[in-house]
Structure 1
C-alpha cells in the first residue's frame, strides 16, 4: 500500500452539513492525522467552514485544518462582504456557487441538491446564480470578488459553474493577476469539460482538480485510464488530487484518498508523480 503521508485533501466534506456525511469535522481530522496527512480543507455548500476549522485545530493537534467559503445563496450568493470576512478570518479557498449555480440547477432539473444525495432539510427554491449579466458580460461584482481574493493568500475555485462561465472567470482572474485559480472537478458530470478546454485553462494559469468522486459508481463520469491520460497531458504540476468525499455511501475521506492514490499507482503512475499532485501542488496553493 502506497500510503498518504503528507498528502493534502483540499476538497472534503464532513458534518455538520445539509447532506448526510460519513464523518464529522473532528472525526475527519483525527482520521487524517492518524493516516499521516498534512492538511485538509473543509468544504460546506451552505456555510463558511472557517470557524469550524479553527475549533478543530484547537483540539486536534498535528494536522492542519483549514476552512473555505462557497458562494451559494445561503451566504448571499456572489457576496463580496462574505468573501472579505472569510478571507480575513483565514479562508484558504473561495468557491464560486455550487448547488446555487444556474448550471447546477439546470443539470438537476431545478433542484439545488443532487439526485445522488438528498438534503436532510428543506431547501427553498432558487433561481440560479450565474456570473453573466443579461447583456452576456461578466457581472461587476465578480471582478470585485476576484480582486479581494487577489489581495489575499486565498485560492479562487470555480465551483459548479458551466464550462463557458469557468473559461470566462479564469480569463478574468488571470488577466487581473490572480495566480491561485483552481478549476473544480472538471471531469465530474455536473460540469464536465473536454480535455482541450482543461488544457486551455491550464495555459491561462489555472490548476485543475482530479477527483476520486468521478470514479465512484453513482457519480462516475470518467474511467481511470482517461483520468490519468488527462493528468499526463495537463502536467502533474498543474493537477491537484482530492476526494470530494464525505458522502455516507462511500469510504471515509481518508480511506478514499488512500484508495485513490493506490489506484493511480496500480494504473502506472510513479510515486513521485502522485506525490506532486497529492502533496506538492496543494501545499503550493495553500502556501504551506
Structure 2
C-alpha cells in the first residue's frame, strides 16, 4: 500500500486554529481527496469542528469530512451540553481534554499550549481538568458524558489524560456499554503509557492510535522499530493509524501519512497489515463499514 487509496485520518488538524497550521480545512479536504483517501476527521483543541466539516463537505465532494469535539475549557470543559449538541450534529469523536487537561498542564509546566508549538493568541491561565475525584473515582459529570455517547455511534476518545485517568475511563466506559473507545496517541510523550497498559486497554475493548507525530524530530517519543513491535503485540486489528499532523513546520498531512506508511513498510509490515490499520479499522471505528 504505497498510496492513500481508501485511507482514513481520524486525527488531523487544520486552520482556522489557535496554532499555526500547514493547511486550512478546504485545502486539507481537497488534498485528501486527490490522494484517494476515503475520509478525514477534523480536530481542533479550541472548538467543535462539526459545522466546519459540514461546510467543507458542501464544497469538496468525493471524500467524507467529519467533525469532532475536544472537551477543553474553551467549550466549557467537561460539558454534557456541548457533548450532546456535537453528537446530535454528527460529531464522530468526543475527545477528553487535551491542552486543558491537568496532566497536559503538568507536563508543560502549567502551560496550555506546547513548547513544540505556540498559540498565535493569548490563552487564559487554566487550573487543569482531571476526570477523577480525590478518591480516584470518575466524577459524576464524566458518567453523564459516557451515557450521552453510549448508543450513538460516536467514539469516546481519551485526549491528554494521564495513564491512570485513561485506564479508569476506559474501564468504566466499556463496562457501561460505550461501543467505541479510542486511546489517543499512547506513544506520544505528553501522555505516554507502557505497552502493557495499552494491551490491557485493548483487552477491555478499546482501539489505540499509532501516530506519525510520535516519529517527528520535535515530538519524537518512540523509534519506528519499537512502534512496530508494539503494534504486533497489541494486535493489528486494534490499532489505528493517524498523522496528528497540521503543524506548520511539518509536511502537509497527506504527505505525512504517505511517509508514515512507507516507514511501516520499511520496518517489515505488509501492505495488507497497513491497509487494515489505515482503512478498515478506522472505518469500523467511525461507522463507515
TM-score (norm 2): 0.99
Query: Tell me, what secondary structure is at the counterpart of 1:65?
Result: strand
Question: In the alignment, what sits opposite 2:117?
Answer: 117
CA–CA distance in structure 2, aligned partners of residues 232 and 178 of structure 1: 25
1:257 and 2:251 aligned:
no
Deviation at 1:177, TM superposition (A): 1.1
Please name the residue that 1:131 is paired with: 131
What's the counterpart of residue 45 of structure 2? 45
Separation (CA, whole Å) in 1 of partners of 2:194 and 2:30: 37
2:180 & 2:113 partners in 1: Cα distance? 28
- Cα distance, 1:134 vs structure 2: 2.7
Segments of 5+ residues of structure 2 without an aligned counterpart are none
| Residues 191-240 of structure 1: per-residue CA shift (max 9 Å, x gap) | 00000000000000000000000000000000000000011011110000
CA distance in 1, matches of 2:219, 2:179: 30
8 Å CA contact 2:151, 2:179 repeated in 1 = no
2:150·2:177 contact (CA, 8 Å) conserved in 1? yes
For residues 131-165 of structure 1, the C-alpha deviation after alignment (integer angstroms, 9 at most, x for no partner) is: 01233321011011011101311000000000000
Q: Give 1:64's aligned residue.
A: 64
Q: 1:88 maps to which residue?
A: 88
CA RMSD of aligned residues (A): 0.7
In 2, Cα distance between equivalents of 1:36 and 1:78: 36
Would the aligned equivalents of 2:212 and 2:257 in 1 still touch at CA under 8 Å? yes
Listed one character per residue, the Cα deviations across residues 75-94 of structure 1 (whole Å, up to 9, x for unaligned) are 00000000000000000000
User: Partner residue of 2:74?
Assistant: 74
TM-score, scaled to structure 1: 0.99
Query: What residue is the counterpart of 1:8 in the other structure?
Result: 8
| 2:28 corresponds to | 28
Cα deviation, residue 2, structure 1? 0.7
Partner of 1:55: 55
Partner of 2:217: 217
- In structure 2, what is the Cα distance between the partners aligned to 1:44 and 1:37? 20
In the alignment, the residues of structure 1 paired with residue 137 and residue 222 of structure 2 have an alpha-carbon distance, to the nearest angstrom, of 32
Count of matched residue pairs: 288
Q: Using the TM superposition, name which of 134-143 and 72-81 deviates more.
A: 134-143
TM-superposed deviation, 1:266? 1.2
